[in-house]
Structure 1
Amino acid sequence: MTSEPLLILVNRKAGTAKKMGHTRLLETLERVNRSVQLHWLDPADLSAYIQQLVDDGNINELAVGGGDGTINHTIQHLIGTNIVLFPLPLGTMNHFVKDLDLPVRLEEFLPLLNSNRSRQIDVGCVNSHYFLNNVSLGMYPRVVRYRGVIRFSQRFPKLIATAYALTKVLLRHQSRRSFTWRTDKGDDISSPVFLIANNRYKFDMTSLVHRERLDEGRLMIIAPTDVRLPTLLEAILYAWTDRIEYASRLDVRAVKDIVINVDSDSTHAVIDGELIRLDAPIKLHLKKAALRVVDSLDTDD
């Protein structure tokens, strides 16, 4: 940690940030025992702002407030640098912060802004785009697309729009698009749905889904044979007891890289919660220890 003020960039439209507002957030940051500079930014301006900071070369740490999508946009500019990222939990779900085992309440996170402890974690890469959590292909991108249309046209809350869109997709989705992956043994795995995660997800009844580590150097692949009700129920049952790799209708593997072929020139994907269009074939690999992040204060030496 240096004597320079800590730059804090906040996506003003992120869930918790939007609820707090600029004034309240500024008052909350007064509890930090160091000088800080708060920049209240429109999400459209965030990427260019971060890239300029990196190009100037005058920072070695950066705090960014928002959800998983905001942090995803941030890391596109931090990979390959030694800048320490402080991911302020100012989004709605903050999955990445949870999986880092960092506080998800802002008041509890603030002491970390005084810390000089950091660690390196893995980052996934799909085509030329980095991701922290996961990439979804097939059904879920369709849900996100429908949800956006429903919210725009009907002004439904996000949760209701998601439930409606999911129901609509489940009723209509019958392998409209096929994704294929050839394993190291030469086997072809075909599925209408692929989930590729940065390191292994653990499933249990308390936290539902989380990752205990982000430094094992593996992508986790989950590909069901179909999206029919028996397959979904089996996946839920085995996931509930953290035995998803034993589900007969799911192909679950750990790999370092993967190439997924699509029966079209491009397809939609959801990357860390954001809808993006990807060109085919879809190439994924893992970058080991590619990002430096603040570490928990209670980490054992």
Structure 2
Amino acid sequence: MTPPELSTSPPVTASTDPAPRVIAADAPFIVVMNAGSGRRQSDETRAALDDILGRAGRKFEVRLVADPSQLADTARQAVRDAKAQNAVVVGAGGDGTLCAVAEAVLGSGCAFAVLPRGTFNYFSRDHGIPADPAESIRLLLDARAFPVQVGFLNERMFLVNASLGLYPKLLEDREIYKRQFGRSRLIALWSAAVTLLRTHRHLRLHIEHDGTMHEVRTSTLFVSNNRLQLEQIGMAEAPQLERGLLAAIAPRAIGRLAQLGLTLRGAAGRMSDADNVISFAFKRITVTHQSKRQRPVKVATDGEINWIIMPLEFRVAPEPLFLLKPEADVANANRS
């Protein structure tokens, strides 16, 4: 629901979007690949690249990142080399890996492409990019680069979502369960249920939106830049993302069982029907804690956990990321 005290920002018209870019037929590809997805998956991806791009006569190179702390530096070097070679920078991995590579690409003038290798792959699915390795690689050969919206939490970019409060804890616990039991959506859902049944504290936040300050008491503030994710949980703000806005969701302070029930309602695609959920679309908001103390808070951006000192500013990036993706009709068919 959208409470009366939190209004939706005016939409941005589609006519302001830059035109899509045609990629040169001989443009090479520099692939930044996260080795954390597993040796077998990395080998399969490399073999598919050799087969499909090799037969098409397209040059490419793979830069495998074994140490996650080196991902950002590797991505920045890939962008520098891509600018010199008129190449396309390709991220291969889950949403966190794709975000790290995309952050290096944004504003560089280079086109960006993805080979989805994660558990949920919300970013690629939202833009109609196939999960099948061979299909996503073939897409590189003839797709145009379309402008897509990205968000920022202070200086950290996000492609899918950013959050503070309970949601980062859910992600941390999910990673522990994945290391123990493997990567699957079922494990992720089970981990979430266990976490929600534990005791959790509520946040007392001040949210400045459109020049007005509002007090919100919630377990988590979740900001989405992904229409597919919002549609899956049944949020009415999903279409607003295509109008240049982000969507915020904050459940009102409720108990553990009620929190679990709200999560189940979201899994059934009916969260917008809940009376205890605040939701609104916006272009920029500033979030502070009621205590006014400048203290670090745990945040998550596309699954990556960090500590940031308040105030927190969530905003739409002023420039788009140019993503190789299918034409609109094909993308809509591939979003499920």
Aligned with residue 41 of structure 2, among 3, 12, 20: 20
Assess, with a 3 A threshold, how the Cα gap between structure 1 residues 199 and 258 changes in structure 2: closer, same or farther: farther
Q: Give the conservation status (yes or no) of the 8 Å contact 1:238–1:247.
A: no
Q: In the TM superposition, what whole-angstrom CA distance separates every residue of 1:192-231 from its partner, at most 9, and x where no partner exists?
A: 21101115453348x9999678642111010111242335
Q: Distance in 2 between matches of 1:208 and 1:245?
A: 5
Assess, with a 3 A threshold, how the Cα gap between structure 1 residues 105 and 212 changes in structure 2: closer, same or farther: farther
Q: Which residue of 2 aligns with 1:294?
A: 324
Q: Distance in 1 between matches of 2:250 and 2:97?
A: 27
- Indicate yes or no: 2:74 matched with 1:49: yes
> Where in structure 2 are the equivalents of 1:69-88 lying within 5 Å?
69-88=96-115
Q: Distance in 2 between matches of 1:221 and 1:208?
A: 10
Aligned with residue 178 of structure 1, among 198, 204, 212: 204
Q: Which residue of 1 aligns with 2:128?
A: 101
Assess, with a 3 A threshold, how the Cα gap between structure 1 residues 210 and 216 changes in structure 2: closer, same or farther: closer
Q: Greater shift after overlay, 49-58 or 118-127?
A: 49-58
Q: Greater shift after overlay, 91-100 or 26-35?
A: 26-35
- Indicate yes or no: 2:28 matched with 1:5: yes
Q: Distance in 1 between matches of 2:197 and 2:62?
A: 44
Q: Which residue of 2 aligns with 1:279?
A: 309
Q: Which runs of no fewer than 5 residues in structure 2 stay unpaired?
A: 1-22, 331-336
Q: Distance in 1 between matches of 2:161 and 2:188?
A: 22
Assess, with a 3 A threshold, how the Cα gap between structure 1 residues 4 and 182 changes in structure 2: closer, same or farther: closer
Q: In the TM superposition, what whole-angstrom CA distance separates every residue of 1:96-125 from its partner, at most 9, and x where no partner exists?
A: 100111111112112211125110011100
> Where in structure 2 are the equivalents of 1:117-266 lying within 5 Å?
117-147=144-174, 155-157=180-182, 160=187, 163-164=190-191, 166-175=193-202, 177-184=203-210, 185-198=212-225, 200=227, 201-204=229-232, 215-228=242-255, 229-234=257-262, 236-237=264-265, 240-242=268-270, 244-262=271-289, 263=291, 265-266=295-296
- Which amino acid in the other structure matches residue 51 of structure 1? R
Q: Give the conservation status (yes or no) of the 8 Å contact 2:126–2:226.
A: no
> Where in structure 2 are the equivalents of 1:50-69 lying within 5 Å?
50-56=75-81, 57-58=83-84, 59-69=86-96
- Which amino acid in the other structure matches residue 261 of structure 2? L
Assess, with a 3 A threshold, how the Cα gap between structure 1 residues 239 and 165 changes in structure 2: closer, same or farther: closer
CA RMSD of aligned residues (A): 3.1
Percent sequence identity over aligned pairs: 23
Q: Which residue of 2 aligns with 1:31?
A: 52
The size of the alignment, in residue pairs, is 292
Q: Which runs of no fewer than 5 residues in structure 1 stay unpaired?
A: none
Q: Greater shift after overlay, 192-201 or 162-171?
A: 162-171
Assess, with a 3 A threshold, how the Cα gap between structure 1 residues 85 and 218 changes in structure 2: closer, same or farther: same
Assess, with a 3 A threshold, how the Cα gap between structure 1 residues 157 and 111 changes in structure 2: closer, same or farther: closer
Q: Greater shift after overlay, 209-218 or 58-67?
A: 209-218
Q: CA deviation at 1:156?
A: 4.6
Q: Distance in 2 between matches of 1:116 and 1:158?
A: 30
Give the TM-score normalised by the residue count of structure 1.
Answer: 0.83
Q: Give the conservation status (yes or no) of the 8 Å contact 2:240–2:281.
A: no
Higher relative contact order (CA 8 A, sep 6+): 2
Q: Which residue of 1 aligns with 2:64?
A: 40
Assess, with a 3 A threshold, how the Cα gap between structure 1 residues 232 and 76 changes in structure 2: closer, same or farther: same
Q: Distance in 2 between matches of 1:258 and 1:85?
A: 28
Give the TM-score normalised by the residue count of structure 2.
Answer: 0.75
| Structure with the higher fraction of residues in strand conformation | 1
